Chains A and B, each alone.
Chain A
Amino acid sequence: MSQNIAAFLYLVSGVLFIMALRGLSHPSTSRTGNIYGMVGMAIAIVTTLLLATPNFGGLVLIVLALAIGGGAGAYIARTIPMTAMPQLVAGFHSLVGLAAVMVAAAALYSPVSFGIGAPGSIHGQALIEMALGAAIGAITFTGSIIAFLKLDGRMSGKPILLPYRHAINIALLVLTVIFIVNLATSESHVAFWLVVIFALALGVLIIVPIGGADMPVVVSMLNSYSGWAAAGIGFTLGNLALIITGALVGSSGAILSYIMCKGMNRSFISVILGGFGGETASAATDDGVQRTVKQGSADDAAFLMQNASKVIIVPGYGMAVAQAQHALRELADTLKEHGVEVKYAIHPVAGRMPGHMNVLLAEANVPYDEVFELEDINAEFAQADVAYVIGANDVTNPAARDDKSSPIYGMPILDVDKAKTCLFVKRSLGSGYAGIDNTLFYKDGTMMLLGDAKKMTEDIVKAMKA
C-alpha cells in the first residue's frame, strides 16, 4: 500500500473518531457514534498491517497479543459492575500510559521500522517527541494506578501529604526536562530510561496527596494526559490518526476537568496541590448552639412522599456504594402509581467521575428524560414537596451558599433545603467526604432517615405498598 493512501486512511479513521464523540451529544445518536469509533479503530489497524506487511513470525505475535489483550478486555467489559466504572476507567488509562512508554522505547531501539532514522542517528526532533510521549505516558501510568487503588478502596482516600512534596515534584520535573534534552543530543538509552523513571515517580507523587473528593478531577485529568501522550507518539511516527486522536482526547479530558473543578468551585491548581478532604473542619460546628436533629422512620417517609405531588430525588456516591439504584427506581415507580411527579437531580460532581450517577440510574432503567442537571432543576426545589437525598452530602450543604467561612463556600449546590421537606438518607450523622459538617441536618424541614441507603429505600417502598 502506498504511503499516501495509508495517510489518507489514517485521516479517515481520525474523522470517524471525531464523529464518535459527536454522537455522544445525545443518547439517541450515541450508539451509532460508538460504532463509528470501532470502524475507525479497525481501519487504523488494518491500514497499519497492510503498510507494514509483517513477516509470518511477526503476524503470529500480533495475533497472539490481540487475542490475549482482546480476550481480557472483552471479559472485563462484560463482567464489570456499573458501580465500578470509575476505577475501571482509571485502570484503562494506566494501560494507555504504559503502552505509550513501550511504543516510545520500541521506537528508540528500532527507529528504522518507524522511519525516523537509523540507531545512533535518530533525528533530535523525533527524540524529543518520543521522550515527551514516554514521560507523559509514564506519569499517566503510575498516576492512574494510584487513582485506581484509591477509587477501588484498596488505598485510603485520605490525602497523603509528604513533607517538601512541592519541592520534590519540581526537582523531579526539572530532572525529567534535563534528561529529555540530554536524550535529544546524545540518543543515550540510559537518559531515556531515566526520563521514564523520573516521570513514573512524578505520577505517584502528583496523585498521592489528592483526596477522594477530588477524584472526579483526577480521573478527567489523567484522561487528558493519556491523550497528550498519544499525541506525542503520533508526532514521532508522523501518524495522522494518532495526532488527531491525541488532540481530541487531550482536550476532552481537559474540558471535563474544568467542568468538575467548576462544580466544586475549586481552581485546578488547588486540586493539583492536593490535601483537600479527610480532615474534619471545625469551623461550622463550634458556634456553641445546641443543635437538634429530627429523625424519622421509613413509615414517616412513606407517608410524606405518598401525599406529595412532586418529589425530587438527589442521588450521590452513597447510592453507588449501597447499590441502591434499583431500589430507588422501584420507589419512583411506586410513587408514580400514587400519582406523584418524580424527577432526579444530579450535581456535576456527584459520584467519583463525571456522569457516574447518570450511568447508574440508566442501569436501573430510569429514563434519561427524568434525570436533570443542576442548573435545569435547581429552581424547581421550591415547588417540590419532598427532596429525597440518598447518598449525597456535600453537594447539598447550604453552608456552601450561606456560610462564608465554610471551606466549600461558593460551590454550587442543589437547593434541597428549599423543598417543603427534605428526607436525608444517611448511615450516621458524620460529615461527608470533604469532612465538613452539613448544616442541612439541623434545619426544621429536614428529616434524617438513618440507615443503609438501599435498605431504607426498600423499607419505604414496603411501607407505601402496605
Chain B
Amino acid sequence: MAGETMNNALEALDKAVAAVKLAAEQAPDAVGAAAHGVSGGAIDPFVFRLAIFVLSIFVGYYVVWSVTPALHTPLMAVTNAISSVIVVGALLAVGVSLSGFATGFGFVALVLVSVNIFGGFLVTSRMLAMYKKKDR
C-alpha cells in the first residue's frame, strides 16, 4: 500500500521534472533569448540584463533625488515593500520545486516577503494618509 503510493508519487515527480525541463529548455529567459536572436546570437543575454540594470540605476538616481525630504521615511518603507518583488523567486521555489529542501527554503522566503509586501505597503499608505495641507 505504502509502496504503491510511493511509486505513484515518484511517477508524478518524474512527469513534473520532465515538464519543467522542457519549459526550461524551450525558453530559459525570453527577453535574453529574444535579444540573443536579434543580435544574431553574438551577444550574451547577460549583457542585456546588465544594460537594463545600469539604466535602472540611473532612473533610480534621478527619481529618488526628486523625492521631497519630507517623504524620506515613506520612501524607505515603500522601497522596502517593492524590494519584496523577490517574491517571484520564492513562488517558483514553492510552486515548481523538485527538491524538498528547495520547497522548504521557498516557503520560508515566501512567508518573510509576504510580511514585507503587506506590512510595507500598508504602513506606507498609513503614513501618507497623514500628510495634509493647511486648511484655509
Contact = CB atoms under 8 A, between A and B. Distances in A.
Tell me whether A and B are bound partners.
yes
Contacts of B99: 109-110
Nearest to B33: A3
B133 to A, nearest CB: 6
Nearest to B82: A17
A55 B20 CA distance: 12
B6 interface: no
A38 B116 CA distance: 12
Contacts of A235: 46, 49, 53
A290 to B, nearest CB: 41
Contacts of A66: 110, 114
A247 B128 CA distance: 24
Contacts of B95: 48-49, 52-55, 58-59, 62, 113
Given A37-B121, A248-B56, A31 B129 contact: yes
Contacts of B10: none
A406 to B, nearest CB: 25
A220 B17 CA distance: 42
A88 B73 CA distance: 11
A76 B119 contact: yes
A37 B85 CA distance: 10
A345 to B, nearest CB: 12
Nearest to A236: B89
A337 to B, nearest CB: 15
A219 to B, nearest CB: 7
A235 B89 CA distance: 11
Interface residues of A, number: 126
Interface stretch (A165-173, A292-300, A353-361, A386-394): A353-361
Interface string A16-37: 0110111011111011011001
B23 interface: yes
Contacts of B115: 69-70, 72-73, 76, 92, 95
A160 interface: no
B128 A102 contact: no
A22 B118 contact: no
Interface string A349-377: 00001111011001101011111010000
Contacts of A80: 123
A283 to B, nearest CB: 31
Contacts of B103: 58, 61, 106, 110
Contacts of B8: none
A238 to B, nearest CB: 4
Nearest to A28: B133
A2 interface: yes
Main secondary structure of the interface of B (DSSP, over half): helix
Interface stretch (A151-159, A197-205, A226-234, A433-441): A226-234
Given A21-B63, A103-B89, A247-B60, A52 B96 contact: yes
Contacts of B114: 65-66, 68-70, 73
Which of A45, A77, A100 has the most chain B CB within a 10 Å cutoff? Answer: A77
Given A99-B113, A367-B133, A112 B88 contact: no
B43 interface: no
Nearest to B131: A27
A249 B73 contact: no
A241 B31 CA distance: 12
20 contacts: A7-B29, A18-B59, A41-B82, A45-B88, A52-B91, A53-B95, A62-B94, A62-B110, A65-B107, A72-B115, A77-B126, A99-B90, A102-B112, A105-B105, A109-B97, A110-B97, A110-B103, A235-B46, A237-B88, A355-B70
Interface of A: 2-4, 6-7, 10, 13-14, 17-18, 20-22, 24-28, 30-31, 33-34, 37-38, 40-41, 44-45, 47-49, 52-55, 58-59, 61-62, 65-66, 68-74, 76-78, 80, 82, 85, 88-89, 92-93, 95-96, 98-100, 102-103, 105-107, 109-110, 112-116, 118, 125, 219-220, 223, 226-227, 229-231, 233-253, 255-256, 259, 346, 348, 353-356, 358-359, 362-363, 365, 367-371, 373
